[in-house]
Structure 1
Amino acid sequence: MRKIFNCLYVALFRTIEDDGVEHSGYMSFMILLSIFPFLVFLLALTSFLGASELGQNFIQIFLESLPEQATESIEKRIRELLSAPPQSLMNLAIVGSIWTASSFVECLRTILNRVYQIKSPPPYIRRRLLSIIQFLIISALITFTMFLLVVIPILFTKIPIILETIEKYKIILNFIRYFLILILLFLGASSLYYILPNVKLNFIDVFPGALLTVILWIISGYLLSTYIVYYNQLNLMYGSLGSIIVTLIFFYIINMIFIYGAEFNYLMKNYENIE
């Protein structure tokens, strides 16, 4: 227990020392820059597979799981893409989204290499190619996740007995759905911690930070939503840009927590050497 508290404490200072504050801002910009091309790419991918409604339903579930105030500035455009994907931009969007989203993957790798003190990362071209491959793998995993979250519940509703059970235990099943989303968040964070840094890790090495990250994401999302509802002063300062600022703040917080979780993983793994 002492080890855990020491790592939590030291990770705060290491996050600042490793420029986690600055990287969080850059990562927030990259998310905002890449989210729309990525969604267009995702819709194009599911449409190519003959399951366009699958992508739309998944994005709908994803939006519902985020704080409403944090996605207000981008939700309108996302819903426009869902209702009428711009077919004329599909080819351009595929190329643009792969490059932009892989840039975000490369951004994550850079900060994780900084956390793990990787002094000599691979050459730039190799890193970019690796980022593109990893982005495509992540997209495939998201498509598989869509199947789990969207298709399986739809199949269940086709069975009368299960449909009656769903209506009877709707609250419990909604709780289970959100619990599954948390599990997927944990698996997603663990995967990023595991595959992105240029260092060999075991799953047990990334488990503590991934768990901490998901817990802090939940807490921070709730606190941010509460603040915006009851104590919001951003509109007075930023006017019509308030919703965009809220979105950037939300991305900034989740990125800072992600970096903090990586620092926690590093300290837990190398505690004896640091102590």
Structure 2
Amino acid sequence: MTHQGLIVATYQVLKDALGHFGRDDGFAMASHVALSALLAVFPLLIFIAALAGFFGLDGAADSVSKIVFEAWPQRVAEPLSGEINRVLTQRRPDLITFGVVAAIWFASNGVEALRTALNRAYRQRETRSLIYLRLQSLGLVVLGAIILIAYTFLVVLAPLGLAALKVYLPGLEEFLLSIDIIRFGVAGSLLLLGLVATHWLLPAGHRRIVDLLPGVAATMVLWMIAGASFGAYLASFANYVTTYGGLAGIMSAIVFLYICSAAFILGGELNAALYRVRAMRKQAKRAA
């Protein structure tokens, strides 16, 4: 493909993705995903607290919440992390029984919101059983909780062991540094794998994993830009306190999640647009 042809193809793909995002109420879906994600955070962490307590890993949920909010702008993360910490430090005897079931169920509503958004982005109509879909959502919540606990071990607990080894084996410092880099690389890849799994499992239809990578990469880049830009905006210009008073922290979190949700949906729209272009080219070759 020539340089000019590449520019034309890129323009067509972006026009298709952005046009479908606008026509299919992408901004409204982003609001739905953002609110559902915010409502799912507390039940998910409560369930993680119960699961970690079952395995004897006290404090893991608090560590997970710190890790989850570490990538958020500070002024967005502080109000939520403070409230979550207060929730997790309370004694919760109900976690052993109904509380765990309720927490998983409400957390799975966030998964269903992602599914609805991706079905629209990929131009898919859901035909699978509602029971199957809900069981899949519940299973993904449990799996996600286990992965986050493992993430906590990689990022929070492993440095303690590495520090001890550095004391007793100082000559292995460079080697341990390489292990440290690998550890953070593995932890960071969890986000990438989570996005790929979300695009692959949740929406209806069948897609190859390789076809999902452009949208996943675009989402991650947009998330990094959104985090840096929104953080700078809050620090320099925005004053939510004068507008929302005591709700300023939660409103800034909702706006940030709204931006991130729009980027997530745009990733699906980009994949769908690329798939449509490839299908049109195959059809043209067959006609020729």
- Residue 101 of structure 1 corresponds to 107
Deviation at 1:105, TM superposition (A): 0.9
Distance 2:222 2:153 in 1: 27
Taking the TM superposition and a 5 Å limit, the aligned residue runs for 1:114-193 are 114-160=120-166, 182-193=188-199
Does 1:33 find its partner at 2:43?
Answer: no
Matching residue within 52, 58, 79 for 2:58? 52
Q: 1:69 to 1:179 in 2, by over 3 A?
A: farther
Question: 47-56 or 219-228, which moves further after superposition?
Answer: 47-56
* Ranges in structure 2 where 5+ consecutive residues have no aligned partner: 1-5, 282-288
Whether 2:92 is the aligned partner of 1:87: answer yes
**Helix, strand or coil at the partner of 1:133:** helix
- Note if contact 2:108-2:137 (Cα within 8 Å) is conserved in structure 1: yes
Q: TM-score, normalised by structure 1?
A: 0.87
Q: Structure 1 regions of 5+ residues with no counterpart?
A: none
1:159/1:106 CA distance change after superposition, 3 Å: same
- Matches of 1:42 and 1:218 in 2, distance apart? 26
Instruction: Give the share of equivalent positions with the same residue, in percent.
Output: 28
Question: Structure 2 CA distance, aligned partners of 1:31 and 1:108?
Answer: 9
How far 1:71 moved relative to its partner? 1.9
**Any conservation in 2 of the 1:209–1:262 contact (CA below 8 Å)?**
yes
| Residue in 1 that maps onto 2:29 | 23
State the shift of 1:62 in Å: 2.6
The 1:115/1:45 distance shift into structure 2, 3 A limit, reads: same
Matched, 1:209 2:224: no
Q: In structure 1, what is the equivalent of residue 258 of structure 2?
A: 252
Q: Indicate how the Cα distance of structure 1 residues 110 and 244 shifts in structure 2: closer, same or farther if over 3 A, else same.
A: same
Tell me how large the CA RMSD over aligned residues is: 2.9
Q: Could you tell me whether the CA contact under 8 Å between 1:157 and 1:163 is conserved in 2?
A: no
Residue 50 of structure 1 aligns to a residue whose secondary structure is coil
Q: What amino acid maps onto 1:152 in structure 2?
A: A
- Cα separation, 1, equivalents of 2:148 and 2:100: 16
Preserved CA contact (<8 Å) 2:151 2:187: no
**In 2: Cα distance, 1:75 partner to 1:127 partner:** 30
Distance 2:276 2:159 in 1: 43
Once residues 159 and 180 of structure 2 are traced to their aligned partners in structure 1, the CA distance between those partners, rounded to angstroms, is 11
Q: Deviations over 1:98-132 (max 9, x none)?
A: 11111111111112112222224213223212221
Once the two structures are superposed, residues 40-69 of structure 1 have per-residue CA deviations (whole angstroms, 9 ceiling, x without a partner) of 110111111111233332322332232111
Shift of 1:177: 7.2
1:205-262 CA distance string (max 9 Å, x none):
1111111101110101111011111101322222222211101001111111000001
TM-score by length of 2: 0.84
**SS of structure 2 residue aligned to 1:158:** helix
Query: CA distance change for structure 1 residues 269 and 45 in 2, over 3 Å: closer, same or farther?
Result: same
CA drift of 1:37 comes to: 1.4
Paired residue type of 2:23: E
Q: Does 1:226 align with 2:268?
A: no
CA contact (8 A) 1:46 1:55 kept: yes
Alpha-carbon distance in structure 1 between the residues aligned to 2:171 and 2:25: 51
Which residue of the partner structure matches residue 68 of structure 1? 74
Residue correspondences, number: 274
CA distance in structure 1 between the aligned counterparts of 2:72 and 2:170, rounded to whole angstroms:
29
> Larger radius of gyration, structure 1 or 2?
2
* Structure 1 residues 18 and 88, CA gap change in structure 2 (3 angstroms): same
